[in-house]
Amino acid sequence: MNQEPAIVGIGATPYYFRGESLPQTKHELIGKAVIAAADDAGLPITAIDGIAGYASGVIEPGQLTEMLGLPELNFAALIAAQGGGSAGVLDLAALAIQTGRAHTVLCLGACQQSTNRYGVTFANMAATPDNVWASAAGLQGPGQTMALLTRRHMHLYGTRREAFGEIVIASRQAASTRPTAIRRKPLSMDEYLAAPMLSDPLCRLDFCLETDGALAFIVTSAERARDLRQKPVHIAASAHGGARNWGRAFFWLNMPDEDFASTGSAHTARRLYAQAGITPQDIDVALLYDHFSPLVLMQLEDYGFCPRGEGGPFVESGAIRLGGSIPVNPHGGHLSEAYVIGMTHIREAVEQLRGTAINQIPNAKYALVSGGPAPIPLSGAILRSAA
């Protein structure tokens, strides 16, 4: 078990509303997060000998070593992704530690939307032979394609907008106690239902925040972790990949009917539970990638917290609240705290398992972290507190 990897340091910049991180550069934000993570671990930054980055919005390994004076790298990999791979940085780091390729691996993720608004990514992309149908149809960003999945879920299972509202309301409630959160004002169901429709059935409040920030994590072996400053958080399972029937997801939109109104994550979920040797009932807190609220509901189904099609009533029962059967995103998530492409979810999982979270789940032992429902690779991890 000593080969098991553990997260021993976390570092983050403040979270900024879109554009407010300027004039800091994105690389500067990343550098500050890395320095903070090494400090948190009680390790010199020069101990870092591996990088596992999330390709979207991050920095080239060579540039990072130059900028921060890292003496040498024995592992340097970026996981390709458009949201799906975010938790996959932990899988890459785990591989490097388990194989002995590197001893101290840095996981990284960042975004600065002042330079690139993800919500209109399709509109910003040059038309290609493969994507021209979407732009011709008037689709401008991922939210509008998620609306297609969402309407299908409502059609098949009778899912109501009130369920999506409950997800947003629960996230606001969690964020209300957190100084790091951008949206802390409590929200009522009436306010939710009255919010303007952007891409029916999705209203403005179903879309996540647009924010800037960088986060970094230090991963090493559980054996070495015992001698470090923080209570280690073990990576009990990690996975990236996905099934062909999900493929490019919202760029494809031809997923078979049984997979269309889902998040494609059932494949990742099966692998994670098998690797960790546990079931969904063992998870104490779920950090689910919440770029759009209905996709939280569909992930709850794919990760086995409720049967397929029953996510609506499950959420409306209060199950995902603090104190519910599976608390989801007690940090407020992308919907209310900040959007840094999944990285804030990893941070919250670590804080929950260290026992230092602001909205602490009592005696949390297992935390699930998911990458975004997006094109393959999808990803996820199950983290475990040190005994």
Partner 1 sequence: MTEISARRDLSTLEIPTDAWTKPFWDATAEGRLLLPQCGACHTFRWPPGPFCPACRSQHTQWQPAGQGLIYSFTIIRAKDQPPTVPALIEFPEAGNIRLIAAIVDTSLDAIVIGAKVKQNWAKAGDTNVPVFTI
Residues at the contact surface with partner 1, assessed by CB under 8 A: 127-130, 132-140, 144, 147-149, 151-152, 155, 196-202, 244, 252-254, 257, 260
Nearer to partner 1, 120 or 274 (CB): 120
Provide the terminal-to-terminal Cα distance of the chain, rounded to the nearest Å.
Answer: 13
Tell me which of 15, 289, 303, 366 is the catalytic residue: 289
Q: Min. distance of Cβ 264 from partner 1 in angstroms?
A: 16
Long-range contacts of 245-249 (CB under 8 A, 24+ apart): 246/376, 246/378, 247/375, 247/376, 248/375, 248/376, 249/84, 249/373, 249/374, 249/375, 249/376
Nearer to partner 1, 142 or 332 (CB): 142
Q: Min. distance of Cβ 139 from partner 1 in angstroms?
A: 5
Q: Is 339 a catalytic residue?
A: yes
Which of 157, 121, 146, 254 is closest to 201 using CA atoms? 146
Q: Min. distance of Cβ 302 from partner 1 in angstroms?
A: 19
Nearer to partner 1, 123 or 274 (CB): 123
- 228: Cα separation from own chain's centroid: 26
Peptide bond before 23: cis, by omega within 30 degrees of 0? yes
Q: Is 289 a catalytic residue?
A: yes
Nearer to partner 1, 74 or 131 (CB): 131
Q: Which amino acid is at 332?
A: G
Question: Do the Cβ atoms of 167 and 315 come closer than 8 Å?
Answer: yes
Nearer to partner 1, 104 or 150 (CB): 150
Q: Min. distance of Cβ 257 from partner 1 in angstroms?
A: 8
Q: Min. distance of Cβ 247 from partner 1 in angstroms?
A: 9
Q: How many CB atoms lie within 10 A of CB 254?
A: 8
Distance CA 237, CA 233 (A): 12
Radius of gyration for the chain, computed over Cα atoms and rounded to the nearest angstrom: 19
Which residues are identified as catalytic? 289, 339
